[in-house]
């Protein structure tokens, strides 16, 4: 199930938002293609 993006207690003055603490969303490891994703985003023009 997908959650709402950006609604974490640490990022807002209102606690109790739908996703709770951002620490609960931290994974022990990134996606297998994380380096490729980061390179793609870094190559974006502004």
Domain boundaries, the chain: 9-42
pTM of the model: 0.43
Long-range CB contacts (within 8 A, 24+) of 18-22: none
Predicted pLDDT of residue 2: 63
Both tokens of 30, joined, read: 């990134």
Torsion region of 31: left, alpha or beta (phi above 0 gives left; psi -120 to 50 gives alpha): beta
Closest Cα to residue 16, out of 3, 25, 24, 7? 7
11 Cβ contact list (under 8 Å, min separation 6): 22
Q: What is the pLDDT of residues 1-46, one digit of tens each?
A: 666 677 778 876 765 556 778 888 788 988 899 999 999 999 998 7
């Amino acid at each position: 199930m997908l959650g709402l993006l950006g609604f974490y207690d640490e990022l807002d003055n209102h606690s109790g938002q739908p996703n709770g603490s951002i620490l609960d969303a931290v994974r022990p490891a990134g996606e297998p293609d994380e380096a490729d994703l980061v390179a793609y985003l870094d190559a974006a023009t502004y």
